[in-house]
């Protein structure tokens, strides 16, 4: 099989499963629907792993070529094409492997759902869309994949479309991403206009250095750097897709979708599309310190302030969602520090441990009969041992425990920012270090509330006893005679398989990905102006040495402090958090209401656009168009007709008098001037 055919098979195998399950699921049944979709993703995952192994061993060559021509206009050809290099190969394995785990997990989680076949079709279609995005070699195909994952995300967030909350959540995600996509599309427009008329990455990157100092006038008399404007517009697209402040508001509400979606889209793949895109565009971003500072500031705010919101959440999935937002902030800060390889390394490690935490949360929700409130849990360790141990491993990876996957990627980002000389690096360093403590606190607050302490679901059942339980209650909490239970093997097997890379992959991958030649040719860094990764490479002495050195560093002790405080607050002295909440009610209300950003956006954009629409309707449509132009013209004609009609009396003497007056007027006009002259 030639390489083009291999890459086509990687992309199209999930699409084939999606089409079969989506169009013919009613005919082939539930079992066949999940078999064909899992088979398609498994084929794609196996071939992706083969491609990655080729790049790791040095035997694979970069593939960059068209698959078919889509459009030829003005001498330019726009094609669907693939660029498969080491960066693409890593993303292929991340996307397909996590997707495969989610597909298997879904068999158990969605077992009783009437939309079973439709769900499998959607998640396979999502996998295809994501593969097309990461394999693209031009901006047109990138935008196609970009919009396709957004569309399927909309369908999946609103999968339970009979719930009003799900409908509002997917609409919110759709609208917020349109804002980001508008900026992204403008950025692509600037590329098309100024970079030689080609949208192929190779041509654009080749043209970029000559345009590094070019300025344009967006406003008359105000020169702007073309490269800065282009990169910032492209990054606005990443802000929407990767949920960076202030376009982050859609991601927490997207938890209205089924839990497998939270793991697939909002932990491992779609939200990392923006990080991948900026890394792919590194030859452009390296030419603009302004754009890099903007990227760093946006990531810093997201990393710290979204972490604060995780502290006050009681819904288990929303805690993990805010954790995702915070970790995406870390990745974005790394991009701003020109540590693209560290950002992509964290994309990979985060994909595994965050998918593990989401699927672990889903397993807990199943064990609790679909009760998601952590205040109703506690003591689940002895009832759900596999979920407990895998969730603990995922939490340890998340907070950066030495030798776990998250430690190597997260600490590398912190070190890169500390070494950066950009103006924004000072605030970024503070935000990331503070974020370490905050992450450890809310992560282990969740862990202790769910798996340790009193069995609060017993108290809830006691309170509910005697009030009666209908079928709806049974599916949204434990009944009087129910106990939590471990999930079936199709749920626990993906947890175990995801726990392995969550622990090990950082140790084995850090050297080739960050300090080896793995990303050579795929990521460009101007080492003369941004020497961060070069400096870190000089201080790196192996994964073991890095782990041992961390025992004396600030991030580890901040993480330990966060875990210890969470244990003390929620296991030993739960009255303290309650007292703090009462004493700091305004701060708690600010966090509980997510900094009131939803209300601000609603007031400014929803009400503002409605008020603007009302103004255009009443003043423009009713008053100007209908009142003045349409009805005004009719009234004017009517008024003039009324005046003319009065001259038509039907009497001979009136017409005779009119004729005499007319003759006198002509005489006055022609003869009188001659006489006077």
Strands 63-73 and 76-84: antiparallel
Q: Tokens 């907070």 — which residue? A: 399
For the ranges 171-185, 296-310, 630-644, the lowest mean pLDDT is seen at 630-644
CA–CA dist 601, 616 (Å, integer): 21
Question: Nearest Cα to 525, choosing from 397, 338, 394, 350?
Answer: 338
pLDDT higher than threshold 60 for residue 134: yes
CA–CA dist 262, 126 (Å, integer): 13
Q: Tokens 């490479």 — which residue? A: 537
Model confidence band, residue 469 (pLDDT cutoffs 50, 70, 90): very low
Model confidence band, residue 461 (pLDDT cutoffs 50, 70, 90): low
Question: Distance of alpha carbon 8 from its chain centroid, rounded?
Answer: 26
Summary mean pLDDT of the chain = 86
Instruction: Please report, rounded to a whole number, the percentage of residues in the chain having pLDDT higher than 90.
Output: 29
Exposure of 357 in the CB half-sphere (CA atoms within 13 A):
33
Q: Identify the residue with better confidence: 466 or 592.
A: 592
- The per-residue pLDDT for 470 is 31
The total of other beta-carbon atoms located within 10 Å of residue 500's CB is 14
Averaged pLDDT, 624-633: 83
Tokens of 581: 């909440």
The total of other beta-carbon atoms located within 10 Å of residue 266's CB is 30
For the ranges 137-146, 590-599, 664-673, the lowest mean pLDDT is seen at 664-673
C-beta of residue 444 within 8 angstroms of C-beta of residue 558? no
Q: What is the largest CA-CA distance in the chain?
A: 125
The 10s digit of each residue's pLDDT in 437-456 is 999 999 999 999 988 888 77
The 10s digit of each residue's pLDDT in 119-128 is 889 989 999 9
Averaged pLDDT, 76-93: 87
What separation in angstroms does the CA of 82 have from each of 125, 147, 272, 344? 19, 18, 19, 20
pLDDT higher than threshold 70 for residue 406: yes
Strands 215-219 and 222-225: antiparallel
Averaged pLDDT, 408-419: 92
Averaged pLDDT, 36-44: 92
The 10s digit of each residue's pLDDT in 352-368 is 898 899 889 888 888 88
Question: Nearest Cα to 187, choosing from 218, 215, 228, 136?
Answer: 228
CA–CA dist 347, 358 (Å, integer): 16
pLDDT higher than threshold 80 for residue 268: no
The 10s digit of each residue's pLDDT in 476-520 is 566 656 678 888 888 888 899 989 999 989 898 888 888 888 888
pLDDT higher than threshold 90 for residue 376: no
| Sign for the pseudo-dihedral over CA of 452, 262, 428, 414 | positive
- The per-residue pLDDT for 462 is 55
pLDDT higher than threshold 50 for residue 610: yes
The total of other beta-carbon atoms located within 10 Å of residue 492's CB is 21
CA–CA dist 154, 247 (Å, integer): 16
- The per-residue pLDDT for 458 is 66
Instruction: Please report, rounded to a whole number, the percentage of residues in the chain having pLDDT higher than 70.
Output: 95
Question: Nearest Cα to 349, choosing from 497, 496, 501, 244?
Answer: 501
pLDDT higher than threshold 60 for residue 671: yes
340-367 and 86-109 helices cross at what angle (nearest 10)? 0
Tokens of 368: 């609790």
pLDDT higher than threshold 60 for residue 468: no
DSSP three-state, residue 79:
strand
Question: Nearest Cα to 263, choosing from 16, 10, 502?
Answer: 502
pLDDT higher than threshold 70 for residue 645: yes
- The per-residue pLDDT for 34 is 86
The 10s digit of each residue's pLDDT in 148-166 is 988 888 888 888 888 888 8
List, in sequence order, every residue forming a beta bridge with 81; answer none if it has no partner. 66
CA–CA dist 621, 642 (Å, integer): 28
The 10s digit of each residue's pLDDT in 229-261 is 999 999 999 998 888 888 888 888 888 888 888
C-beta of residue 513 within 8 angstroms of C-beta of residue 519? yes
The 10s digit of each residue's pLDDT in 190-206 is 998 888 878 889 989 99
- The per-residue pLDDT for 267 is 64
pLDDT higher than threshold 80 for residue 219: no
What separation in angstroms does the CA of 261 have from each of 98, 110, 544? 11, 11, 35
CA–CA dist 153, 516 (Å, integer): 35
DSSP three-state, residue 423:
coil
pLDDT higher than threshold 60 for residue 626: yes
The 10s digit of each residue's pLDDT in 59-75 is 888 888 888 888 887 77
List, in sequence order, every residue forming a beta bridge with 80; answer none if it has no partner. 68
Q: What is the DSSP letter of 271?
A: G
- The per-residue pLDDT for 467 is 39
């Amino acid at each position: 099989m030639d390489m083009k055919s291999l890459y086509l098979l990687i992309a199209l195998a999930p699409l084939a499963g999606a089409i079969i399950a989506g169009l013919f699921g009613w005919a082939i049944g539930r079992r066949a629907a999940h078999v064909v979709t899992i088979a398609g993703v498994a084929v794609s995952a196996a071939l992706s792993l083969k491609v990655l192994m080729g790049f790791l061993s040095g035997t694979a060559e970069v593939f960059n070529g068209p698959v078919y021509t889509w459009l030829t206009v003005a001498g330019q050809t726009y094609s669907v094409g693939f660029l498969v290099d080491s960066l693409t190969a890593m993303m292929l394995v991340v996307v397909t492997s996590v997707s495969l785990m989610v597909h298997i997990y879904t068999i158990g989680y969605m077992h009783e759902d009437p939309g079973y076949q439709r769900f499998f079709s959607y998640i396979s279609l999502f996998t295809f869309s994501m593969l097309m995005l990461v394999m693209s070699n031009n901006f047109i195909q990138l935008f196609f994949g970009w919009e396709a994952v957004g569309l399927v995300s909309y369908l999946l967030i609103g999968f339970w479309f009979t719930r009003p909350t799900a409908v509002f959540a997917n609409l919110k995600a759709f609208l917020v991403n349109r804002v980001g996509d508008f900026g992204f599309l403008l950025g692509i427009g600037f590329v098309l206009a100024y970079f030689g008329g080609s949208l192929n990455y190779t041509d654009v990157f080749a043209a970029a250095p000559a345009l590094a100092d070019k300025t344009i006038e967006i406003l008359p008399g105000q020169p702007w750097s073309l490269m800065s404007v282009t990169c910032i517009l492209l990054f606005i697209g990443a802000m929407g897709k990767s949920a960076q402040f202030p376009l982050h508001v859609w991601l927490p509400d997207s938890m209205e979708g089924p839990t497998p979606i939270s793991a697939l889209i909002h932990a491992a793949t779609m939200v990392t599309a923006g990080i991948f895109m900026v890394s792919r565009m590194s030859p452009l971003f390296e030419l603009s310190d302004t754009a890099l500072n903007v990227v760093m500031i946006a990531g810093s705010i997201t990393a710290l302030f979204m972490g604060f919101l995780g502290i006050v959440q009681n819904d288990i999935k929303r805690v993990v969602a805010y954790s995702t937002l915070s970790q995406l902030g870390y990745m974005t800060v790394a991009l701003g520090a020109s540590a693209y390889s560290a950002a992509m390394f964290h994309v990979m490690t985060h994909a595994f441990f965050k998918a593990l935490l989401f699927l672990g949360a889903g397993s807990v929700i199943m064990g609790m009969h679909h009760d998601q409130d952590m205040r109703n849990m506690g003591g689940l360790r002895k009832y759900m041992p596999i979920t407990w141990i895998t969730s603990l491993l995922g939490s340890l990876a998340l907070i950066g425990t030495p030798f776990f996957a998250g430690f190597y990627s997260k600490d590398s980002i912190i070190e890169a920012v500390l070494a950066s000389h950009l103006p924004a690096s000072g605030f970024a360093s503070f935000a990331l270090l503070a974020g370490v403590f905050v992450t450890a606190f809310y992560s282990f607050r969740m862990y202790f509330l769910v798996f340790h302490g009193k069995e609060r679901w017993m108290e809830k059942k006691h309170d509910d006893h005697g009030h009666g339980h209908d079928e709806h209650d049974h599916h949204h909490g434990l009944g009087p005679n129910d106990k939590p239970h471990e999930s079936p093997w199709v749920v626990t097997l993906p947890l175990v398989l995801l726990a392995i890379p969550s622990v090990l992959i950082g140790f084995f991958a850090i050297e080739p990905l960050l300090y080896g030649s793995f990303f050579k040719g795929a990521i460009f860094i101007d080492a003369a102006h941004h020497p961060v990764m070069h400096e870190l490479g000089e201080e790196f002495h192996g994964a073991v040495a890095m782990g041992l050195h961390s025992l004396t560093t600030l991030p580890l002790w901040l993480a330990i402090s966060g875990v210890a405080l969470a244990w003390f607050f929620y296991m030993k002295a739960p009255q303290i958090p309650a007292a703090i909440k009462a004493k700091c009610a305004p701060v708690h209300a600010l966090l509980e209401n997510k900094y009131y950003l939803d209300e601000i956006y609603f007031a400014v954009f929803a009400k503002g656009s409605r008020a603007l629409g009302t103004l255009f309707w009443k003043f423009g449509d009713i008053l100007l168009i209908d009142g003045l132009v349409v009805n005004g013209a009719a009234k004017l004609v009517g008024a003039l007709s009324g005046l003319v009609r009065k001259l038509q009396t039907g009497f001979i003497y009136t017409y005779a008098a009119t004729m005499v007056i007319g003759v006198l007027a002509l005489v006055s006009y022609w003869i009188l001037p001659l006489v006077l002259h």
